[in-house]
Structure 1
């Protein structure tokens, strides 16, 4: 180690976008749900994704020209499926993307989809290095990978570090599915919420939870208790592809979710966003499943396994959910002028799918994330939009 390095303890005041910081044997682990919420659900999918730090970034001020960060990623592998991309760290200097890096090493969890078993293998931490930074006082953000659990082990710089000052920008709290978490985006600042936050000039707290946007009461209470100037919830695709509930349960669950948020944010602009276009679930209920024919050719794709006729018995499709969310928000808006609705088809619709198809039939690629973000920013942050200054 360079003798000029200064080690700075990684504490909560150096982090943005995390709601909890857990001390581990090797460092600290950022969480996007607080400990009390995690204790209410031990579902493995939720446990994995809430610890994947989408939107979480180290934020500090320094004149350092070199930065090192030791981290311990946990990566999932699935025998028979294509390898998942390695997480990327984005370096932002005074608001501009300046460099990117990834780490080697880390822990591996091998999940056998046929048996449901998982094997955990421990590995060493890795190090990312950013050098040649401008020799002046500057604000630095290191955005952590949105797609892999990341323990923070050590931060070293060649000049002292202080927590970044509060920007004074409004805080945008967003909840959604894996699309909001950033699935298939190339890097953490390329996810659609991160891009939209940059375009809107706001600070992002991303509660996009892959496979876990399921109207859970503990998520609503977390949002209720989290300081925010702007709030959005993107509801629908996980409820369809998990086949978790029927229309009879969906409607009061949406009301209850919004009621809970309003308990803590009675007049905050609150935007309800319905699902983007996804052909496999537009008119066909879940559950969703891997497309085994595609897997046989080395491709990862999803399919819907339900029967369209089951809509009559209350099974949810994206079309059913869009109609019901529009009706619910119109009903509630009569007494809540700060509640707004955005049709997900206005962010990514059938014509967009024809031009920029979903690579796995479920998640947008990086180009589509940007398109969704630009359209969201144009509608939400516009002078007469629900998130206007």
Structure 2
């Protein structure tokens, strides 16, 4: 129960949100989106709809002297029938750039996916409240990072002192696009996804367009990136194209060129970093499609497997080995006319030696420790002196 005090209720408006590109008004409150409505309308894929509405990298940011903060939210949690239950999503509190607390909101709406039948059942639930107390009464910048893996409707923000929006512009903005690994699958929390860790180490503001299952060179994503203000841009391409078995090499090459052309239309001279896939043994030399391992699921374990035929790479099917080689070639070709275009081999972020020490628990996604390693390595490669994202004068 909330202690008796004079609470101030503040609407969650776009000027209090960072990392969201659209805010939808719902019957409960507001729902942050990481793709604008026009882009969502161009792709009816329910997987993308779920992924872009999960607010990876989205945070509520305000300045206040409040000693206590409450936030009412309605989360939507995903459950796989027969698989181990997923923990509730995490809300991370950051005060003046430093971690200051972590809370969860139980309950909420539950979406159950039956892998065997493909059916999806949604069970409505009730909203919950998270509370951070014992904060300093000094003026401070407060960030509440929303769960990276739960669609989150924001209902009410309460504090025991007034809040005001924090003006932007003092830090560079890093715009990143990638797959579920960039989205943060299996990370320890919203500030512990590898892009969030790298952004913190690099001293930049993150806009994370990492979408689980959705890094597919979609033209609307390229146009969103073109139109989103940014000082630094990166695209991590590959794993979804292999595990979705979506295109062949003949289509892949011009699709990469077209994606980069569109991004460059809006960001003609900013540093643009192309990152190839980290190691994923099931898809290194075996094409997709990727599927759930039903035998593992029967044992209560969630794992993935590649179902393609390695012999079909000769006919243009994509593997991670093929994708890395072609991305490297494309960047070398384009860099002759684009001095601000760079390439980072994903194996430098997570390779064979890392897999031996920190294997991918489900065969596809890194765990929390591996997210930290990838984030630290990305920051060391991109943000330090001599790197493509190094601060001016570094």
User: TM (normalized to structure 1)?
Assistant: 0.99
The correspondence for 1:10, drawn from 12, 17, 20, is 12
- 1:330 is matched with 332
Distance 2:372 2:114 in 1: 33
- 1:105 is matched with 107
- 2:295 is matched with 293
Distance 1:301 1:48 in 2: 20
What is the 5 A alignment of 1:33-72?
33-72=35-74
Distance 1:26 1:68 in 2: 16
What is the 5 A alignment of 1:348-363?
348-363=350-365
- 2:196 is matched with 194
Distance 1:49 1:84 in 2: 16
The correspondence for 2:241, drawn from 231, 239, 242, is 239
The correspondence for 1:262, drawn from 257, 261, 264, is 264
2:94–2:100 contact (8 Å) kept in structure 1? yes
The correspondence for 1:381, drawn from 364, 380, 383, is 383
What is the 5 A alignment of 1:162-311?
162-166=164-168, 168-311=170-313
- 1:26 is matched with 28
SS of aligned partner of 2:84: coil
| Residue 3 of structure 1: how far off its partner (Å) | 4.6
The correspondence for 2:157, drawn from 151, 155, 158, is 155
- 2:373 is matched with 371
Distance 1:43 1:165 in 2: 35
| Residue 115 of structure 1: how far off its partner (Å) | 2.4
What are structure 1's unaligned runs of at least 5 residues? none
> 1:119-154 CA deviation, whole Å, 9 max, x = no partner?
211111100000000111000000000001000000
How many equivalent pairs are there?
Answer: 389
Distance 1:167 1:112 in 2: 45
2:175–2:230 contact (8 Å) kept in structure 1? yes
SS of aligned partner of 2:268: coil
The correspondence for 1:79, drawn from 64, 73, 81, is 81
> 1:330-349 CA deviation, whole Å, 9 max, x = no partner?
00000000000000000000
| Residue 292 of structure 1: how far off its partner (Å) | 1.7
2:5–2:160 contact (8 Å) kept in structure 1? no
| Residue 167 of structure 1: how far off its partner (Å) | 5.3
Moved more, 293-302 or 340-349: 293-302
Distance 1:46 1:203 in 2: 24
Distance 1:299 1:107 in 2: 23
| Residue 114 of structure 1: how far off its partner (Å) | 2.4
| Residue 76 of structure 1: how far off its partner (Å) | 1.3
* Change beyond 3 A, Cα 1:293–1:116: closer
Distance 1:191 1:55 in 2: 9
Distance 1:83 1:285 in 2: 29
Moved more, 74-83 or 43-52: 74-83
Distance 1:308 1:219 in 2: 30
Moved more, 317-326 or 293-302: 293-302
- 2:136 is matched with 134
User: TM (normalized to structure 2)?
Assistant: 0.98
Distance 1:324 1:119 in 2: 41
2:175–2:225 contact (8 Å) kept in structure 1? yes
Distance 2:81 2:381 in 1: 42
- 2:148 is matched with 146
Distance 2:111 2:376 in 1: 35
| Residue 384 of structure 1: how far off its partner (Å) | 0.8
SS of aligned partner of 2:191: helix
> 1:208-235 CA deviation, whole Å, 9 max, x = no partner?
0000100000000000000000000000
